Amino acid sequence: MTVASAVSLWAVGAQANDDLIKMEKDAKQWVMPLGNYAGNRYSSLNQINKTNVNKLQVAWTFSTGVLRGHEGGPLVIGNMMYVHAPFPNTVFALDLNKNGQIVWKYEPSQDPNVIPVMCCDTVNRGVAYGDGKIFLHQADTKLVALDAKTGKVVWSVTDGDPSKGETGTSAPIVIKDKVLIGNSGGEFGVRGKVTAYNMKDGKVAWTAYSMGPDSDVLVDPEKTMSMGKPIGSDSSLKTWQGDQWKIGGGATWGWMSYDPQLNLVYYGSGNPSTWNPVQRPGDNKWSMTIFARDADTGMAKWVYQMTPHDEWDYDGVNEMQLVDQKINGQDRKLLVHFDRNGFGYTLDRTSGELLVAEKFDPAVNWATKVDLKTGLPQRVKQYSTEAGGEDKNTKDICPAALGSKDQQPSAFSPQTGLFYVPTNHVCMDYEPFKVAYTAGQPYVGATLSMYPPKGDNHLGNFIAWDATAGKIKWSIPEPFSVWSGALATAGGVVFYGTLEGYLKAVDAETGKELYRFKTPSGIIGNVNTYEHNGKQYVAVLSGIGGWAGIGMAAGLTEDTAGLGAVGAYKALSQYTALGGTMTVFSLPE
């Protein structure tokens, strides 16, 4: 697919937000957290390319003044840059015409009691833009609309109840006249949902839950399809014991994508609650599921559950990349998803037909393959966490709960036809135990330890993936998980960041490293690019934290703390320290 066709694919959706569709085609700006509605994280800018990227230097930096993990990245709208931070979710508007001078700053007043109910650090994945407003999903679940010019609050609504463990960490997405957000809190027994708010006034347009009655999940028993068949009535209720669905998890804190032509929004739901699978028999639908919903009504056109009756916390919330590619000799509208469970899925995004499902990390062992006819993973009993009942420690499960990839978004280049995927190369021991539900208290029920796969001494890889064949083109081992979002450019360069703090640039065709620079802190943010006054810039937030860096961010020391991650990443403290800094790079004059 050429760059031109990749752009035109999104230009024809006349019914979508006209301003954003026009703006996302302008490579000088970065108007959405994932770059465009398709979630491709690709830029047609090529001033920085594989012949000169080794000359990059720091143009300027900006400190957010906040510690903890800095996920997400800045938006660039015209001559303004909008930068966000973790709790308390400060937002800055910087004037690019005045060397990044602060035009306004918004710092919400939030109850610090929200912090203990945030699962995996106090992260926030970014703000969204639309209709002259900046939209922020705060940790306390409030969705706030800020005037993009002044920073003044236009409206604010409360989406959930932090006292019950419900929080906000996701980046909103603006579609037509609505702003969509998901919720966090699967580790506290919340019930996952996506809510669409009217952009003008913040009133609820629709709410779609991950599990429960058909009327709550917004599914039609006869019209909503799964693996080519209608799902039937009470498809979710029938897979839960009693009323467990009411505290069933399936949180929706990941990324969303949108196809203007089909008017469908795509996203994934997370793990079922509790992590102890013995306590929740059944398939636990619709946790761990890809949803395709009508953007106007929220009604689901199709669903696909990747990990029925999850036993390992393999959240399904990672990004959904939308591309048009030829597969098996036929042009298809594809959805590509790299799941926590270690399988890279390629589906027809119109129908939900499963076309490819292959391991994107060779260490994956909990299942041998995915049956393309049934969609079911072929599980390996040895790595079941409930085979021996509660209090049995199942060892050497790959991947670990944080998955072969977590929220760190991949990139796609229409030049190469490849996906560039930041991955985790981590295994675990998993011991479930009985846990009782109490609102606002952790509802996990499992003790985990994490470590590299046997015979390996590295915790991450950065890979190039062919989604039509389901194969790795090349792979770069990294000492620690690659927790940053990738960026692909028309200059033939792919950028990503490392937990030690390096911004790296590699050749999109070969993976050869072309450039590296050590930023002030570990990078779990997403690399962006934009053009200002005729010059291309690359920007990235650094600030160690997130699940992989929770030990450093929260001062945890026990190996099993941080839901099992602390022990695996102890050595990080030898390479980096806490901090929140945006570093902006450019070529010398």
Which positions are catalytic? 313
Candidates 268, 255, 137, 340; CA nearest to 526 is 255
Q: Which helix (H) or strand (E) holds 379?
A: strand 377-379
pTM for the model: 0.96
Span 117-516+555-573 CATH architecture = 8 Propeller (2.140)
Q: Rounded CA gap, 386 and 396, in Å?
A: 14
Q: Rounded CA gap, 530 and 99, in Å?
A: 15
Supply 130's token pair.
């639309």
Confidence (pLDDT) at 4:
39
Q: Using alpha carbons only, what angle is made at residue 193 by residues 189 and 195, rounded to the nearest 5 degrees? A: 145
Confidence (pLDDT) at 387:
82
Q: Are 574 and 553 in contact (CB under 8 A)?
A: no
Confidence (pLDDT) at 388:
75
**CA-to-CA separations, 166 to 179, 289, 332, in angstroms, rounded:** 19, 20, 38
Q: What pLDDT, in 10s, does the model give residues 366-379?
A: 999 999 999 999 99
Q: Using alpha carbons only, what angle is made at residue 336 by residues 266 and 372, rounded to the nearest 5 degrees? A: 105
Confidence (pLDDT) at 11:
38
Q: What HEC string does 12-50 produce?
A: CCCCCCHHHHHHHCCCCCECCCCCCCCCCCEECCCCCCC
Altogether, the residues listed in the chain come to a count of: 589
Amino acid at 80: M
Q: Per residue of the chain (589 residues), give pLDDT as tens.
A: 344 334 434 333 334 478 999 999 999 999 999 999 999 999 999 999 999 999 999 999 999 999 999 999 999 999 999 999 999 999 999 999 998 999 999 999 999 999 999 999 999 999 999 999 999 999 999 999 999 999 999 999 999 999 999 999 999 999 999 999 999 999 999 999 999 999 999 999 999 999 999 999 999 999 999 999 999 999 999 999 999 999 999 999 999 999 999 999 999 999 999 999 999 999 999 999 999 999 999 999 999 999 999 999 999 999 999 999 999 899 999 999 999 999 999 999 999 999 999 999 999 999 999 999 999 999 999 999 998 778 899 999 999 999 999 999 999 999 999 999 999 999 999 999 999 999 999 999 999 999 999 999 999 999 999 999 999 999 999 999 999 999 999 999 999 999 999 999 999 999 999 999 999 999 999 999 999 999 999 999 999 999 999 999 999 999 999 999 999 999 999 999 999 999 999 999 8
| Domain ranges across the chain | 117-516+555-573
Q: Rounded CA gap, 187 and 273, in Å?
A: 7
**How distant is the alpha carbon of residue 435 from its chain centre?**
28
- Laid out side by side, the sheet with 289-294 consists of 229-230, 225-226, 300-305, 289-294, 264-268, 257-259
Q: Are 520 and 579 in contact (CB under 8 A)?
A: yes
Confidence (pLDDT) at 390:
82
- Site of tokens 């066709």: 5
Supply 203's token pair.
């009133």
* Contacts for 26 with CB less than 8 Å, ≥ 6 apart: none
**How distant is the alpha carbon of residue 524 from its chain centre?**
12
Q: Rounded CA gap, 290 and 300, in Å?
A: 10
Confidence (pLDDT) at 32:
97
- Site of tokens 């802190």: 521
Amino acid at 256: M
Q: What pLDDT, in 10s, does the model give residues 86-141?
A: 999 999 999 999 989 999 999 999 999 999 999 999 999 999 999 999 999 999 99
Burial classification of residue 5, based on how many CB atoms lie within 10 Å of its CB (0-12 exposed, 13-18 middle, 19 or more buried): exposed
Candidates 93, 145, 47, 446; CA nearest to 278 is 446
